[in-house]
Structure 1
Protein backbone atom coordinates (compact mmCIF):
# COMPACT_ATOMS: atom_id res chain seq x y z
CA UNK A 1 0.00 0.00 0.00
CA UNK A 2 1.07 3.56 -0.66
CA UNK A 3 0.58 4.35 3.03
CA UNK A 4 3.61 2.17 3.74
CA UNK A 5 5.62 3.93 1.04
CA UNK A 6 4.85 7.33 2.58
CA UNK A 7 5.79 6.02 6.02
CA UNK A 8 9.03 4.49 4.73
CA UNK A 9 10.05 7.70 2.94
CA UNK A 10 9.25 9.83 6.00
CA UNK A 11 11.16 7.54 8.37
CA UNK A 12 14.16 7.45 6.03
CA UNK A 13 14.30 11.22 5.46
CA UNK A 14 13.72 11.99 9.15
CA UNK A 15 16.40 9.50 10.18
CA UNK A 16 18.92 11.02 7.77
CA UNK A 17 18.05 14.52 8.96
CA UNK A 18 18.60 13.54 12.62
CA UNK A 19 22.29 13.01 11.85
CA UNK A 20 22.69 15.70 9.19
CA UNK A 21 21.87 19.18 10.53
CA UNK A 22 22.44 20.72 7.10
CA UNK A 23 19.79 18.45 5.60
CA UNK A 24 17.41 19.29 8.45
CA UNK A 25 17.92 23.02 7.86
CA UNK A 26 17.40 22.62 4.11
CA UNK A 27 14.08 20.79 4.47
CA UNK A 28 12.52 22.55 7.45
CA UNK A 29 9.88 25.22 6.94
CA UNK A 30 11.80 28.46 7.51
CA UNK A 31 9.47 31.20 6.20
CA UNK A 32 12.15 33.68 5.05
CA UNK A 33 13.63 31.01 2.77
CA UNK A 34 10.25 30.63 1.09
CA UNK A 35 9.51 34.34 1.03
CA UNK A 36 12.91 35.66 -0.06
CA UNK A 37 14.65 32.72 -1.74
CA UNK A 38 11.54 31.20 -3.32
CA UNK A 39 12.23 27.78 -1.85
CA UNK A 40 8.58 26.79 -2.11
CA UNK A 41 9.40 23.09 -1.76
CA UNK A 42 9.84 23.70 1.98
CA UNK A 43 6.04 23.92 2.23
CA UNK A 44 6.11 20.17 1.53
CA UNK A 45 9.51 18.92 2.71
CA UNK A 46 8.94 20.03 6.30
CA UNK A 47 6.35 17.24 6.52
CA UNK A 48 9.01 14.57 5.98
CA UNK A 49 11.30 15.54 8.88
CA UNK A 50 10.68 15.40 12.62
CA UNK A 51 12.13 16.80 15.81
CA UNK A 52 12.96 13.42 17.37
CA UNK A 53 12.05 9.73 17.35
CA UNK A 54 8.93 10.02 19.57
CA UNK A 55 7.59 12.80 17.31
CA UNK A 56 8.24 10.66 14.24
CA UNK A 57 6.86 7.42 15.70
CA UNK A 58 3.64 9.03 16.96
CA UNK A 59 2.90 10.59 13.57
CA UNK A 60 3.78 7.46 11.62
CA UNK A 61 1.73 5.19 13.88
CA UNK A 62 -1.27 7.46 13.42
CA UNK A 63 -0.69 7.58 9.67
CA UNK A 64 -0.53 3.78 9.55
CA UNK A 65 -3.67 3.23 11.63
CA UNK A 66 -5.88 5.64 9.71
CA UNK A 67 -4.13 5.93 6.36
CA UNK A 68 -4.53 2.21 5.76
CA UNK A 69 -8.30 2.73 6.15
CA UNK A 70 -8.58 5.84 3.97
CA UNK A 71 -6.26 4.74 1.15
CA UNK A 72 -8.62 2.09 -0.35
CA UNK A 73 -11.54 4.54 -0.16
CA UNK A 74 -9.66 7.21 -2.12
CA UNK A 75 -8.30 4.55 -4.46
CA UNK A 76 -11.89 3.75 -5.40
CA UNK A 77 -13.05 7.37 -5.58
CA UNK A 78 -10.22 9.14 -7.41
CA UNK A 79 -7.69 6.55 -8.52
CA UNK A 80 -4.60 4.63 -7.36
CA UNK A 81 -2.61 7.75 -6.43
CA UNK A 82 -5.55 9.43 -4.73
CA UNK A 83 -4.26 8.89 -1.22
CA UNK A 84 -0.79 10.24 -2.05
CA UNK A 85 -2.36 13.33 -3.62
CA UNK A 86 -4.56 13.82 -0.57
CA UNK A 87 -1.71 13.43 1.92
CA UNK A 88 0.80 15.61 0.07
CA UNK A 89 -1.69 18.42 -0.53
CA UNK A 90 -2.79 18.17 3.12
CA UNK A 91 0.77 18.80 4.30
CA UNK A 92 0.98 21.89 2.10
CA UNK A 93 -2.48 23.30 2.84
CA UNK A 94 -2.13 22.67 6.60
CA UNK A 95 1.04 24.75 6.83
CA UNK A 96 -0.16 27.73 4.76
CA UNK A 97 -1.82 29.67 7.64
CA UNK A 98 1.34 29.24 9.71
CA UNK A 99 3.54 30.33 6.84
CA UNK A 100 1.45 33.41 6.14
CA UNK A 101 1.46 34.36 9.81
CA UNK A 102 5.26 33.99 10.15
CA UNK A 103 6.51 34.70 6.63
CA UNK A 104 8.70 37.57 7.81
CA UNK A 105 9.79 35.94 11.07
CA UNK A 106 13.38 34.75 10.79
CA UNK A 107 13.18 33.15 14.24
CA UNK A 108 10.34 30.78 13.33
CA UNK A 109 10.56 27.28 11.87
CA UNK A 110 8.24 24.29 11.71
CA UNK A 111 8.58 20.61 10.89
CA UNK A 112 6.64 17.37 11.09
CA UNK A 113 3.85 15.49 9.34
CA UNK A 114 1.17 16.47 11.86
CA UNK A 115 -0.86 18.57 9.40
CA UNK A 116 -1.11 15.75 6.87
CA UNK A 117 -1.72 13.14 9.57
CA UNK A 118 -4.49 15.30 11.06
CA UNK A 119 -6.18 15.44 7.65
CA UNK A 120 -6.05 11.64 7.38
CA UNK A 121 -7.45 11.20 10.89
CA UNK A 122 -10.41 13.50 10.25
CA UNK A 123 -11.11 11.94 6.87
CA UNK A 124 -11.42 8.63 8.71
CA UNK A 125 -13.75 10.15 11.32
CA UNK A 126 -16.17 11.15 8.55
CA UNK A 127 -16.43 7.50 7.53
CA UNK A 128 -16.50 5.86 10.95
CA UNK A 129 -17.26 8.41 13.69
CA UNK A 130 -18.06 5.88 16.41
CA UNK A 131 -15.05 3.62 15.90
CA UNK A 132 -13.17 3.26 19.16
CA UNK A 133 -9.63 4.57 19.16
CA UNK A 134 -7.22 3.94 22.01
CA UNK A 135 -5.26 6.97 23.28
CA UNK A 136 -4.66 5.06 25.59
CA UNK A 137 -8.22 4.58 26.85
CA UNK A 138 -10.95 3.62 24.32
CA UNK A 139 -12.82 6.63 23.00
CA UNK A 140 -15.19 7.11 20.03
CA UNK A 141 -13.38 8.83 17.16
CA UNK A 142 -15.92 11.65 17.02
CA UNK A 143 -15.46 12.43 20.73
CA UNK A 144 -11.70 12.50 20.23
CA UNK A 145 -12.17 14.79 17.20
CA UNK A 146 -14.19 17.34 19.16
CA UNK A 147 -11.68 17.34 22.01
CA UNK A 148 -8.74 17.50 19.59
CA UNK A 149 -10.16 20.49 17.75
CA UNK A 150 -11.00 22.32 20.97
CA UNK A 151 -7.58 21.66 22.48
CA UNK A 152 -5.73 22.64 19.29
CA UNK A 153 -7.72 25.88 18.98
CA UNK A 154 -7.10 26.76 22.63
CA UNK A 155 -3.38 25.96 22.47
CA UNK A 156 -2.98 27.84 19.19
CA UNK A 157 -4.39 30.93 20.86
CA UNK A 158 -2.32 30.39 23.97
CA UNK A 159 0.98 29.45 22.29
CA UNK A 160 4.29 28.82 24.01
CA UNK A 161 4.70 25.03 23.68
CA UNK A 162 6.57 24.85 20.34
CA UNK A 163 3.83 22.72 18.74
CA UNK A 164 2.21 23.93 15.54
CA UNK A 165 -1.42 23.59 16.61
CA UNK A 166 -2.49 25.80 13.70
CA UNK A 167 -1.36 23.07 11.27
CA UNK A 168 -3.38 20.49 13.22
CA UNK A 169 -6.50 22.61 12.82
CA UNK A 170 -5.89 23.40 9.15
CA UNK A 171 -5.14 19.76 8.38
CA UNK A 172 -8.32 18.58 10.11
CA UNK A 173 -10.46 21.08 8.20
CA UNK A 174 -8.79 20.17 4.92
CA UNK A 175 -9.33 16.45 5.53
CA UNK A 176 -13.05 16.97 6.05
CA UNK A 177 -13.50 19.34 3.09
CA UNK A 178 -11.47 17.13 0.75
CA UNK A 179 -13.61 14.08 1.47
CA UNK A 180 -16.86 16.04 1.12
CA UNK A 181 -15.74 17.46 -2.24
CA UNK A 182 -14.53 14.11 -3.55
CA UNK A 183 -17.85 12.41 -2.91
CA UNK A 184 -21.01 14.31 -1.95
CA UNK A 185 -22.49 11.12 -0.48
CA UNK A 186 -20.00 11.20 2.40
CA UNK A 187 -21.78 14.09 4.13
CA UNK A 188 -25.17 12.34 4.41
CA UNK A 189 -23.40 9.07 5.23
CA UNK A 190 -21.56 10.76 8.11
CA UNK A 191 -24.79 12.23 9.49
CA UNK A 192 -26.50 8.86 9.23
CA UNK A 193 -23.61 7.20 11.08
CA UNK A 194 -23.56 9.98 13.67
CA UNK A 195 -27.21 9.55 14.56
CA UNK A 196 -26.96 5.75 14.75
CA UNK A 197 -24.02 5.00 17.07
CA UNK A 198 -22.38 1.64 16.54
CA UNK A 199 -19.25 1.18 18.61
CA UNK A 200 -16.61 -1.13 17.20
Structure 2
Protein backbone atom coordinates (compact mmCIF):
# COMPACT_ATOMS: atom_id res chain seq x y z
CA UNK A 1 0.00 0.00 0.00
CA UNK A 2 1.06 3.67 -0.02
CA UNK A 3 1.75 6.29 2.62
CA UNK A 4 0.64 9.86 1.74
CA UNK A 5 3.20 12.49 2.71
CA UNK A 6 1.83 15.80 1.42
CA UNK A 7 -0.09 17.29 -1.51
CA UNK A 8 0.44 20.18 -3.93
CA UNK A 9 -2.79 21.89 -2.97
CA UNK A 10 -2.45 25.37 -1.42
CA UNK A 11 -5.24 26.68 0.78
CA UNK A 12 -7.15 29.71 -0.55
CA UNK A 13 -9.75 30.74 2.02
CA UNK A 14 -8.42 29.55 5.37
CA UNK A 15 -5.12 30.78 6.73
CA UNK A 16 -4.98 28.08 9.39
CA UNK A 17 -7.12 24.90 9.37
CA UNK A 18 -7.57 24.98 13.13
CA UNK A 19 -10.53 22.57 13.18
CA UNK A 20 -8.56 19.88 11.35
CA UNK A 21 -5.52 20.50 13.55
CA UNK A 22 -7.67 20.36 16.68
CA UNK A 23 -9.24 17.06 15.61
CA UNK A 24 -5.77 15.56 15.15
CA UNK A 25 -4.60 16.80 18.55
CA UNK A 26 -7.77 15.60 20.31
CA UNK A 27 -7.48 12.14 18.76
CA UNK A 28 -3.84 11.85 19.83
CA UNK A 29 -4.54 13.06 23.37
CA UNK A 30 -7.46 10.66 23.81
CA UNK A 31 -5.42 7.75 22.56
CA UNK A 32 -2.57 8.69 24.91
CA UNK A 33 -5.09 8.59 27.77
CA UNK A 34 -6.35 5.21 26.55
CA UNK A 35 -2.78 3.97 26.43
CA UNK A 36 -2.03 4.74 30.08
CA UNK A 37 -5.37 3.56 31.49
CA UNK A 38 -5.45 0.24 33.32
CA UNK A 39 -7.28 -2.57 31.55
CA UNK A 40 -10.43 -1.97 33.61
CA UNK A 41 -10.45 1.72 32.70
CA UNK A 42 -9.94 1.08 29.00
CA UNK A 43 -12.69 -1.53 29.11
CA UNK A 44 -15.07 1.01 30.63
CA UNK A 45 -14.20 3.51 27.88
CA UNK A 46 -14.91 0.92 25.17
CA UNK A 47 -18.17 -0.13 26.78
CA UNK A 48 -19.51 3.42 26.99
CA UNK A 49 -17.98 5.12 23.93
CA UNK A 50 -17.50 2.51 21.18
CA UNK A 51 -20.19 1.53 18.67
CA UNK A 52 -21.48 -1.92 19.61
CA UNK A 53 -24.11 -2.78 16.97
CA UNK A 54 -25.94 -5.39 19.03
CA UNK A 55 -26.35 -2.96 21.91
CA UNK A 56 -27.13 0.10 19.80
CA UNK A 57 -29.96 -1.71 18.03
CA UNK A 58 -31.43 -3.08 21.29
CA UNK A 59 -33.73 -0.55 23.03
CA UNK A 60 -33.47 -2.51 26.29
CA UNK A 61 -29.73 -1.89 26.64
CA UNK A 62 -28.65 1.47 28.08
CA UNK A 63 -25.04 1.75 26.95
CA UNK A 64 -24.29 5.42 27.65
CA UNK A 65 -25.30 6.78 31.08
CA UNK A 66 -27.39 9.98 30.94
CA UNK A 67 -27.07 10.29 27.15
CA UNK A 68 -28.73 8.65 24.12
CA UNK A 69 -26.88 5.51 23.03
CA UNK A 70 -26.62 7.06 19.55
CA UNK A 71 -23.94 9.32 21.06
CA UNK A 72 -21.51 6.47 20.40
CA UNK A 73 -21.87 7.11 16.65
CA UNK A 74 -19.68 10.16 17.32
CA UNK A 75 -17.57 9.16 20.31
CA UNK A 76 -16.26 5.94 18.73
CA UNK A 77 -14.41 8.03 16.14
CA UNK A 78 -12.13 9.45 18.86
CA UNK A 79 -10.96 6.04 20.10
CA UNK A 80 -8.33 3.83 18.49
CA UNK A 81 -7.06 0.30 18.87
CA UNK A 82 -3.31 0.97 18.79
CA UNK A 83 -0.66 3.52 17.80
CA UNK A 84 -0.52 2.39 14.17
CA UNK A 85 -4.29 2.77 13.92
CA UNK A 86 -4.36 6.33 15.24
CA UNK A 87 -1.20 7.50 13.45
CA UNK A 88 -2.39 6.20 10.07
CA UNK A 89 -5.75 7.93 10.41
CA UNK A 90 -4.17 11.17 11.57
CA UNK A 91 -1.66 11.14 8.71
CA UNK A 92 -4.46 10.90 6.14
CA UNK A 93 -6.36 13.62 8.00
CA UNK A 94 -3.29 15.89 8.08
CA UNK A 95 -2.63 15.51 4.34
CA UNK A 96 -6.21 15.80 3.05
CA UNK A 97 -8.36 17.37 5.77
CA UNK A 98 -6.93 20.89 5.64
CA UNK A 99 -8.05 21.38 2.03
CA UNK A 100 -11.56 20.14 2.80
CA UNK A 101 -11.76 22.59 5.70
CA UNK A 102 -10.53 25.29 3.33
CA UNK A 103 -13.23 24.36 0.82
CA UNK A 104 -16.03 24.35 3.42
CA UNK A 105 -15.07 26.73 6.19
CA UNK A 106 -14.44 25.87 9.84
CA UNK A 107 -17.96 25.22 11.13
CA UNK A 108 -19.25 23.32 8.11
CA UNK A 109 -16.11 21.19 8.06
CA UNK A 110 -16.65 20.16 11.68
CA UNK A 111 -20.27 19.27 10.93
CA UNK A 112 -19.09 17.36 7.86
CA UNK A 113 -16.47 15.41 9.80
CA UNK A 114 -18.84 14.36 12.56
CA UNK A 115 -21.58 13.46 10.06
CA UNK A 116 -19.17 11.21 8.15
CA UNK A 117 -18.13 9.55 11.40
CA UNK A 118 -21.79 8.89 12.25
CA UNK A 119 -22.47 7.56 8.75
CA UNK A 120 -19.53 5.18 9.05
CA UNK A 121 -20.72 3.88 12.43
CA UNK A 122 -24.27 3.49 11.14
CA UNK A 123 -23.15 1.58 8.04
CA UNK A 124 -21.09 -0.75 10.23
CA UNK A 125 -24.09 -1.37 12.48
CA UNK A 126 -26.46 -2.06 9.59
CA UNK A 127 -23.98 -4.49 8.02
CA UNK A 128 -23.92 -6.65 11.18
CA UNK A 129 -26.64 -5.49 13.58
CA UNK A 130 -26.16 -8.32 16.09
CA UNK A 131 -22.40 -7.95 16.52
CA UNK A 132 -21.12 -7.26 20.04
CA UNK A 133 -17.59 -6.39 18.90
CA UNK A 134 -16.80 -2.71 19.64
CA UNK A 135 -16.06 -0.44 16.69
CA UNK A 136 -13.43 2.28 17.27
CA UNK A 137 -11.42 4.60 15.06
CA UNK A 138 -11.64 7.74 12.96
CA UNK A 139 -11.54 5.74 9.73
CA UNK A 140 -15.17 6.45 8.84
CA UNK A 141 -14.68 10.20 9.23
CA UNK A 142 -11.34 10.09 7.40
CA UNK A 143 -12.98 8.10 4.59
CA UNK A 144 -15.49 10.94 4.30
CA UNK A 145 -12.62 13.40 3.91
CA UNK A 146 -11.16 11.17 1.19
CA UNK A 147 -14.52 11.04 -0.60
CA UNK A 148 -14.80 14.82 -0.57
CA UNK A 149 -11.19 15.28 -1.68
CA UNK A 150 -11.56 13.07 -4.74
CA UNK A 151 -14.72 14.99 -5.74
CA UNK A 152 -13.03 18.37 -5.39
CA UNK A 153 -9.38 17.76 -6.24
CA UNK A 154 -8.93 14.65 -8.42
CA UNK A 155 -6.06 16.18 -10.42
CA UNK A 156 -3.95 17.41 -7.50
CA UNK A 157 -0.56 15.74 -7.15
CA UNK A 158 -0.16 13.80 -3.94
CA UNK A 159 3.32 12.76 -2.88
CA UNK A 160 3.20 9.20 -1.58
CA UNK A 161 5.91 6.99 -0.15
CA UNK A 162 6.07 4.02 -2.50
CA UNK A 163 8.53 1.14 -2.32
CA UNK A 164 9.96 0.12 -5.70
CA UNK A 165 13.57 -0.80 -4.97
CA UNK A 166 13.93 1.70 -2.14
CA UNK A 167 11.15 3.84 -0.63
CA UNK A 168 10.74 7.00 -2.70
CA UNK A 169 8.23 9.88 -2.58
CA UNK A 170 6.35 9.91 -5.88
CA UNK A 171 3.89 12.58 -7.12
CA UNK A 172 0.70 10.82 -8.20
CA UNK A 173 -2.71 12.37 -9.08
CA UNK A 174 -5.18 12.14 -6.21
CA UNK A 175 -7.64 10.30 -8.45
CA UNK A 176 -5.21 7.41 -8.82
CA UNK A 177 -4.02 7.33 -5.21
CA UNK A 178 -7.39 7.68 -3.52
CA UNK A 179 -9.17 5.76 -6.27
CA UNK A 180 -7.00 2.76 -5.43
CA UNK A 181 -7.84 3.15 -1.75
CA UNK A 182 -11.56 3.30 -2.55
CA UNK A 183 -11.32 0.24 -4.81
CA UNK A 184 -9.71 -1.68 -1.95
CA UNK A 185 -12.61 -0.88 0.37
CA UNK A 186 -15.15 -2.26 -2.11
CA UNK A 187 -12.99 -5.31 -2.76
CA UNK A 188 -12.75 -6.27 0.90
CA UNK A 189 -16.48 -5.71 1.47
CA UNK A 190 -17.19 -8.16 -1.36
CA UNK A 191 -14.36 -10.53 -0.41
CA UNK A 192 -13.76 -10.27 3.36
CA UNK A 193 -10.21 -11.00 4.44
CA UNK A 194 -11.09 -12.13 7.95
CA UNK A 195 -9.40 -9.12 9.56
CA UNK A 196 -10.97 -6.85 12.18
CA UNK A 197 -10.98 -3.88 9.77
CA UNK A 198 -14.42 -2.24 9.60
CA UNK A 199 -14.72 -2.04 5.81
CA UNK A 200 -18.40 -1.07 5.94
CA UNK A 201 -17.59 1.87 8.22
CA UNK A 202 -15.09 3.05 5.60
CA UNK A 203 -17.69 2.80 2.84
CA UNK A 204 -20.37 4.52 4.90
CA UNK A 205 -18.10 7.45 5.66
CA UNK A 206 -16.83 7.56 2.09
CA UNK A 207 -20.32 7.76 0.55
CA UNK A 208 -21.41 10.37 3.10
CA UNK A 209 -18.36 12.51 2.35
CA UNK A 210 -18.77 12.26 -1.41
CA UNK A 211 -22.42 13.33 -1.04
CA UNK A 212 -22.20 16.01 1.64
CA UNK A 213 -19.41 17.88 -0.12
CA UNK A 214 -21.90 19.02 -2.79
CA UNK A 215 -23.98 20.79 -0.12
CA UNK A 216 -21.31 22.00 2.31
CA UNK A 217 -18.57 23.34 0.02
CA UNK A 218 -18.29 27.06 -0.63
CA UNK A 219 -20.20 28.18 -3.70
CA UNK A 220 -16.95 29.48 -5.20
CA UNK A 221 -15.21 26.08 -4.97
CA UNK A 222 -15.39 24.11 -8.21
CA UNK A 223 -16.05 20.39 -8.48
CA UNK A 224 -13.71 17.83 -10.04
CA UNK A 225 -10.75 20.19 -10.19
CA UNK A 226 -12.27 22.50 -12.76
Same fold (TM over 0.5): yes
Judge conservation of contact 2:20–2:94 (CA < 8 Å) in 1: yes
| Residue in structure 2 matching 1:161, options 195, 201, 210 | 195
Q: 1:40: Cα distance to partner? A: 1.3
Cα gap change, 1:4 to 1:66, in 2 (>3 Å): same
Task: Tell me the number of residue pairs that the alignment of Structure 1 and Structure 2 aligns.
Answer: 187
Pick aligned residue for 1:17 from 13, 34, 39: 34
**Aligned positions of 1:53-72 closer than 5 A:** 53-72=83-102
The answer on whether the counterparts of 1:180 and 1:186 sit within 8 Å (CA) in structure 2 is no
* Rounded Cα–Cα distance in structure 1 between residues aligned with 2:109 and 2:72: 21
Q: Distance in 2 between matches of 1:73 and 1:187?
A: 6
**How many angstroms apart in 2 are the aligned matches of 1:188 and 1:10?**
31
Matched, 1:89 2:115: yes
Please give the secondary structure, in 2, of the residue aligned with 1:57.
Answer: helix
Give the number of the structure whose residues are more often helix, by fraction. 1
Q: Which residue of the other structure, out of 127, 132, 135, is the alignment partner of 2:152?
A: 127
Please tell me the root mean square deviation across aligned C-alpha atoms, in Å. Answer: 2.1
Of 28, 46, 57, the match for 2:50: 28
Contact 2:24 2:94 in 1 (8 A): yes
Give the conservation status (yes or no) of the 8 Å contact 1:29–1:42: yes
* Residue in structure 2 matched with residue 141 of structure 1 by the alignment: 174
Provide the residue aligned with 1:198 in structure 2.
none
* Structure with the bigger percentage of strand: 2
Deviation track 1:147-169 (CA, whole Å, cap 9, x = no partner) reads 12221111112221111111212
Correspondences of 1:95-134 after superposition (within 5 Å): 95-106=121-132, 108-134=133-159
* 1:33 shift after superposition: 2.5
Q: TM-score, normalised by structure 1?
A: 0.84
- TM superposition score normalised by structure 2: 0.75
Q: Which runs of 4+ in 1 moved over 6 A?
A: 184-188
CA drift at 1:122: 2.2
Q: In 1, are the aligned partners of 2:19 and 2:110 still within 8 Å (CA)? A: yes
**5+ residue gaps, structure 1:** 194-200
